[in-house]
Amino acid sequence: MSLIGARVLRKEDPNLITGRGQFVDDITPAGTVVMAFVMSTEPHSRIVNIHSADALALPGVLAVWTAADIAELSTLGLPGLGRPLLATDVVRFVGEPVAVVVAETKYIAADAAQLVIVDYESMPAAPSITTALADGAPVLHSVLGGNTVFDQPFVDDLAADFAAAPHTASLHLVNNRCAAVPIEPNACLADWGPSGLTLWATFQAPHHLRNTVAAYFGIPQDTTRVITPDVGGGFGAKINFVPEYFLACALSRKLARPVKYTQTRSECQVLMYHGRAQEQDVDVAYDDDARLLALRVRVTQDQGAYPDPTGMGLPVLTTAMAAGCYKIPKVAISWRNVVTNTTPVAAYRGAGRPEASYLIERIVDLVADQSGIDPVEVRRRNFIPTDEFPYATHSPLAVYDSGNFAGAMTELLTLFDYDALKAEQARRRNTRDEKLIGIGFSSWLEIAAFGPPGSLEGFGHLGSWESVQIRVQPDGSAIIYTGASPHGQGTVTTFAQIAAGELGIPFDKISVRHGDTATVPQGIGTMGSRATAVGGEGVRTASVRVVERAKVIAAHILEADPADIVLEGDGFAVNGTPSHSVPWSEVAWKSFRPLEIPTDSEPGSLDITVFQQVPNFSFPSGAYCCTVEIDRGTGEIEITGMYLVDDCGTVINPLLAEGQVHGGVAQGIAQALYEGISYDENGLPQNSTLMDYLIPAATELPSYTDGRVNTPTPNNGLGAKGIGESGSVGAPPAVVNAVVDALSHLGVQHLDMPITPLAVWNVLEEAK
Amino acid sequence: MSTVSVSVTVNGELRTHEVEPRVLLVHYLRDVLRLTGTHVGCDTSNCGACTVILDGAAVKSCTVLAVQARGGEITTIEGLAAPGEPFSAVQQGFHQEHGLQCGFCTPGMIMACTALLGENPDPTEHEIRHALEGNLCRCTGYQMIVNSVRWAAEHPDGIVPESSDAASSAPSTQGAGS
Ligand code: FES
Ligand code: FES
């Protein structure tokens, strides 16, 4: 029975709700010692001296290492701009590890780290795009000459088109720097013994880490094992090669002890790579009917102190997706990557696409505002029609597979009474102190299902496929091994759902295993909303092949032609004669017994591995609306409605799909209203604990109203597009558009994220 | 460093250890008793991943020294359902209503929700959200956690009604495999 689309409860839950989950920090082999960092307190300084004698003398301390102790270990990241495992001569951001200590317990390690004294000679810092690009700015990496790592100019900046256009609109937008804040901070445990290296890590791509660590140390992959046990959230921030993995391994080799590193939250806030941190200059040209004629986007990406390969790709994705779900005759894109004295920047849920939906959805609202045409109507006039798919955009990366943008908007407007709310908004504006109402839309689109051949290789991955192995057990149950590496997505459940329908094996008799390079075939990992659309498709493909082979055995048992065998009940039957049947358990059992299968078959044939490829990206889309109320006295913003129409193609499990949307939307609302890593002008981070970095609690977030349209992708047999990042792509512009709409009668055309009550209050005060 | 003797009752069992006076209760539970279901998500007592029930009240075990818990009765996530017994209503509610994704915040959430229902067996959505203000979840966006608590309030014995539309027969007792 197909379980696709069924609200199936998760197989993952029983361990996790009983405290029987196993996260990295829960694992402590005999002899484990603890590693801690001495971290830079300076944004940009020369290291003059490191005094570690006192730390070394502390009972229970096994080692204190500085860069001088690991001179043979190479840097990470881009060649020539590599990040050393420990700062060498110069520190380039607050938090950069300067030394590492290892001790018998975490308390002693923390004490020892405190005892290491570093003498610095301060240099001027460039902690922002503006300061890094200023004349005479301090240079972070002398090989660059300045602070620009890469600059892709416009091919044609459309100056003539803009000059000739009846109307134009322009915005400078700041996509605030965000911290991913998985509730489990980074952690790893390295055990390098005589028989090989095992590294447990809270990571999204175990084989990627295994291959990288093996290459880094020049050791064989077969004796290098990476295990990603239960992983407490990742959101893109757990696919970066940060120094702790390599240091823990090197220290374990040196000390012949398992070495564990568990980050504190305050360390995590400055060490785990940040996301967003992107500025945009956006111009559109449009006609009298608010039809878009041209779009021009110049992106400046803050890379932090060391350019990360994934981080370098963020503006590529932003500019590829810049036109959103609109048909715009001319699009010009350009971007540059800039280093600053801040924590490095890389993927965070959405990775370049929230920035794209933000720019296009903000400027479409500005067109609505300037032209006096309703924002819903402006969108409708510019949507790509449903009969134009596949739709080639300005970017070769983005050939949209399918979509129904107008349909999503229509569905959205059934979820609440737009006209009544507009009337109430107008009424309240005429009162003295009733709360102001704002209504914000976002017709968003993103690129997912990474991906087609070549799409991940550019980020250093071995391939862009995903591995799936199905092994039918002798009792007729099945184990699926996959290179996808979930950390909350529910992949164990969705993959079992997909397999159950195809294999005819009950859901309860299918297990899914992942996260261990010693048992799972070479895989890629979970990021870029790919697990279902690529890995899930692999489950479907492998299941079909298993059934083909099982039919041969069933036919042998039933003395029939394999072509006449069909899945029936709990096993196989001869087509048209359901009583002439054999259960799966018998087929599975006999598949291992040479005397009971056809002579030209081999035992153990019900074991299939596929490396699933997909021909193109998929493009999940949707229409969101956020409604807010603003207190005119305090500037406080309350979200009163969050209406979410998603189109992820085929839904495997509506419960889990909604969970993904809610989580992404929560992070999107957080970016719009609450979160933002900031640095002062000297480069000191201003919010590196959860006391001053507001990740929203249940009281700060609304309940959500879910809706759906379905345009299956043609790129896989499931029709599934991916949904992991949708919410974080769609929500920020909806929320910002709502707040701006609430204040638009005061002449407000834009406010930067996070929009705080203070910013709103300032607007309200000025208007008095 | 000198140590002091700490005796506490944890999940019904009296435990006695010599610990340093500075050791936090959460580290005593995790590192000494090896009850690793209680998690650590921050160092500023904001996240609630470490929530346990101490003498009937939910506390963040990272804000309490082990010595301060001396003589106390502690329930951790491991003690909510005895081996072979059904899940507690709150545990079952989180399963039924998809109240968890990565599961890292979950033990703390479940303990906080258990304490809430002890005080207020039929909380409104508003009351649930306020009671959970000190527990952060990065995955769920909270609505399904709210639904989970409501499920538990409506099914105080934790038993899933026969008519449940859930297609799965996922195990509902401790010790069953998945
Ligand atoms: S670990 Fe105790 S509140 Fe975060
Ligand atoms: S389920 Fe992941 S933090 Fe709550």
Give the closest-approach CA distance of B14 to chain A in angstroms: 20
Query: Which of B40, B139, B165 shows the shortest C-beta gap to A663?
Result: B139
Task: List the single residue in A6, A266, A659 with the smallest CB-CB distance to B140.
Answer: A659
Beta bridge partners of A281: A172, A298
Closest-lying ligand 1 atom to the alpha carbon of residue B46: 3
Structure tokens given for A610: 């596929």
Identify which of A11, A264, A658 has the shortest CB distance to residue B170. Answer: A11
Q: Which chain A residues in 347-366 lie under 8 Å from chain B, judged by CB atoms?
A: none
Its pTM stands at 0.97
Tell which one of A181, A183, A656 to mutate to probe ligand 2, the residue whose CB is within 8 A of the most ligand atoms. Answer: A183
The domains found in chain B, sorted by start residue, are 4-79 (3.10.20.30), 89-164 (1.10.150.120)
Mutation for A interface: B10, B19, B42, B132, most A CBs within 10 A = B42
CA of A206 to the centre of ligand 1 (A): 28
Q: Which helix (H) or strand (E) holds A491?
A: helix A491-503
**Residue A168, strand partner residues:** A285
Mean pLDDT of A152-173: 98
The answer, yes or no, to whether residue B168 has pLDDT greater than 60, is: no
Alpha carbon distance A444, A561 (integer Å)? 51
Tell me, in angstroms, the distance from the centre of ligand 1 to residue B77's CA. Answer: 15
Predicted local distance difference test score (pLDDT) of residue A246:
98
Please name which ligand lies nearest the alpha carbon of A662.
2
Q: How far apart are CA A405 and CA A681, in angstroms?
A: 43
Return the pLDDT at B82.
Answer: 85
Cβ burial of A363 (10 Å; 0-12, 13-18, 19+) is buried
Q: Cβ of A17 and B35 within 8 Å?
A: no
**Over 50: is that where the pLDDT of B134 sits?**
yes
Torsion of CA A496, A497, A503, A508, to 10 degrees: 60
Q: What are phi and psi of A739, to 5 degrees?
A: -65, -45
Q: How many CA atoms lie within 13 A of B33 on its CB side?
A: 29
The two tokens of residue A415 are 């979820």
> In sequence order, what E strands does A565-697 have?
565-568, 571-574, 577-583, 607-612, 621-630, 637-647
Distance, CA of A338 to CA of A356 (rounded, Å): 18
What's the longest Cα–Cα distance across chain B? 59
Taking CA atoms, A469 is separated from A33, A606, A653, in Å, by 36, 10, 22
Buried b (16+ CB within 10 A) or exposed e, A516-536: bbeebbbbbbbbbbbbbbbbb
For chain A, give the percent of residues with pLDDT over 70. 100
Average pLDDT value for residue range A373-397: 97
- B35 and A19 within 8 Å at the Cβ level: the answer is yes
Tokens 């409708």 sit at which residue? A380
pLDDT tens-digit series, residues A506-532: 999 999 999 999 999 999 999 999 999
A669, closest residue in chain B (CA to CA): B141
Residues found in chain B: 178
- CB-ligand 1 contact for B100 (6 Å cutoff): no
Cβ-Cβ contacts under 8 Å, A10 against chain B: 95, 98, 168, 170
What part of A 61-80 touches B (C-beta under 8 Å)?
Answer: none
Nearest to B94 by CA among A664, A488, A10, A653: A10
Residue B32, token pair as written in the block: 């000494």
Could you tell me how far CA A293 lies from the centroid of its own chain? 32
Chain A residues 483-512 with a CB less than 8 Å from chain B = 487-490, 507-508, 511
Q: How confident is the model at residue B162 (pLDDT cuts 50, 70, 90)?
A: confident
pLDDT tens across A578-587, in order? 899 999 999 9
| Chain A stretch 168-227, residues whose beta carbon is closer than 8 A to a beta carbon of chain B | 181-185
Distance, in angstroms, between B58 CA and closest chain A CA? 16
DSSP state of A509: G
Q: What is the mean pLDDT of residues A672-688?
A: 96
- How many Å apart are CA A533 and CA A535, to the nearest integer? 6
As given in the structure block, the two tokens for residue A728 are: 């974080």
**Beta-carbon separation of B103 and A511 below 8 A:** no
**Average confidence score pLDDT of chain A:** 97
Q: Does residue A27 have a pLDDT over 50? A: yes
Contact A665 B144 (CB under 8 A): no
pLDDT band at residue B164 using 50, 70 and 90 as cut-offs: low
As a whole-number percent, the residues of chain B with pLDDT over 70 amount to 91
Quote ipTM for the complex: 0.97
Mean pLDDT value of segment B120-139: 98
Choice from B39, B100, B144 to test ligand 2 binding pocket (greatest atom count within 8 A of CB): B100
CB atoms within 10 A of CB B72: 17
Give the position of tokens 């195990």: B171
Alpha helices by DSSP H, A17-72: 53-57
Maximum distance among all Cα pairs of chain A, rounded to whole angstroms: 91
Residue of B nearest to A487 (CA): B102
Strand-pair partners of A302? A338
Closest CA to A311 of A83, A526, A146: A83
Region B20-31: what's the mean pLDDT? 98
**Is any ligand 1 atom within 6 A of the Cβ of residue B86?**
no
Under a CB-based contact definition with an 8 Å cutoff, are residues A526 and A448 in contact? no
CA A624 vs CA A302, A411, A728, B140: distances in Å: 28, 10, 11, 18
Nearest-neighbour CA in chain B from A683: distance (Å) = 23
Structure tokens at B145: 């956690």
Report whether residue B25 contacts ligand 1, using a CB cutoff of 6 Å.
Answer: no
Please tell me the number of Cα atoms within 13 Å of A419 on its side-chain side: 1
As a whole number, mean pLDDT of residues A489-502 equals 97
- Tell me if B36 CB under 6 Å of ligand 1: no
Rounded CA gap, A268 and A232, in Å?
13
Structural domain spans, chain A: 31-123, 278-393+403-448+618-767, 466-612
Take atom 4 of ligand 2 and give the residue whose Cα is closest: B137
Alpha carbon A125 to its chain centroid, in Å, reads 30
CA distances from B60 to A508, A739, B66, B80 (A): 37, 36, 12, 17
pLDDT of B170 > 80? The answer is no
CA distances from A358 to A138, A314, A627, A734, A736 (A): 31, 14, 17, 9, 9
What does DSSP assign to residue B87?
Answer: P
Nearest to B171 among A14, A184, A659 (CB): A14
What pLDDT, on the 0 to 100 scale, is given for residue B169? Answer: 41
Closest listed residue to residue B24, CA positions, set A31, A106, A115: A106
Answer whether A278-393+403-448+618-767 and A466-612 agree in fold: yes
The pLDDT value recorded for residue A559 is: 96
Give residue-wise pLDDT tens across range A590-630.
999 999 999 999 999 999 999 999 999 999 999 999 999 99
CB A257 within 8 Å of CB A33 = yes
CA distance linking residue A353 with residue A315, whole number of Å: 9
Give the distance (Å) from ligand 1 centre to CA of residue A55: 28
pLDDT of A458 reads 84
Determine whether the interchain pair A689/B20 forms a contact, defined as Cβ–Cβ distance below 8 Å.
no
For A76-113, how does the pLDDT look when each residue is reduced to its tens digit (9 = 90+)? 999 899 999 999 999 999 999 999 999 999 999 999 99
User: How many CB atoms within 10 Å of residue A66?
Assistant: 19
Q: Is A697 in contact with B133 (Cβ distance < 8 A)?
A: yes
Non-local CB neighbours of A387 within 8 Å, separated by 6+ positions: none
Smallest Cα–Cα separation from A243: which of A218, A258, A222, A263? A263
Closest CA relative to residue B118, chosen from B57, B49, B76: B57
* CATH for A278-393+403-448+618-767 (1.10.10.10, 3.40.50.12170, 3.90.226.10, 3.30.365.10): 3.30.365.10
Which of the ligands is closest to the CA of residue A689?
1
Asked if A662 lies within 8 A of B144 by C-beta distance, the reply is yes
Residues of chain B contacting A689 with CB distance shorter than 8 Å: 42-44, 46
- CATH class label, A466-612: alpha beta
d(CA A744, CA A765): 14
What are the φ and ψ backbone dihedral angles of A84, each rounded to 5 degrees?
-70, 155
CA-proximal residue: ligand 2, atom 3 (nearest): B137
Which residues surround ligand 2 with Cβ inside 6 Å?
A 183, 233, 488; B 100-106, 137-140
From the CA of B101, how far away is ligand 2's center (Å)? 5
Q: Is the CB of B81 under 6 A from ligand 1?
A: no
Testing ligand 1's pocket by substitution, the residue of B25, B46, B137 carrying the most ligand atoms inside 8 A of its CB is B46
The residues pairing with A191 across neighbouring beta strands, listed in sequence order, are: A198
Mean of per-residue pLDDT scores for chain B: 92
d(CA A222, nearest CA chain B) in Å: 29
Close Cβ partners of A376 (under 8 Å, ≥ 6 residues apart)? A409, A413, A418, A441
The CATH code that applies to domain A31-123 is 3.90.1170.50
Q: Are A701 and B80 a contacting pair at CB < 8 A?
A: no
Partner residue opposite B133 with nearest CB, options A488, A511, A699: A699
Q: Does the distance separating the beta carbons of A235 and B101 come in below 8 Å?
A: no
Q: Can you give the length of chain A in residues?
A: 768
- Across residues A246-265, what is the average pLDDT? 98
Cα dihedral: B129, B133, B136, B140 (round 10): 10
Ligand 1 mean position, distance from CA B61 (Å):
7
Closest CA relative to residue A293, chosen from A281, A302, A283:
A283
Q: Please give the backbone phi and psi of residue B114, each rounded to the nearest 5 degrees, phi first.
A: -65, -45
Q: What angle do CA A478, A480, A482 make, to 5 degrees?
A: 175
C-alpha angle B21-B23-B25 in degrees, rounded to nearest 5: 115
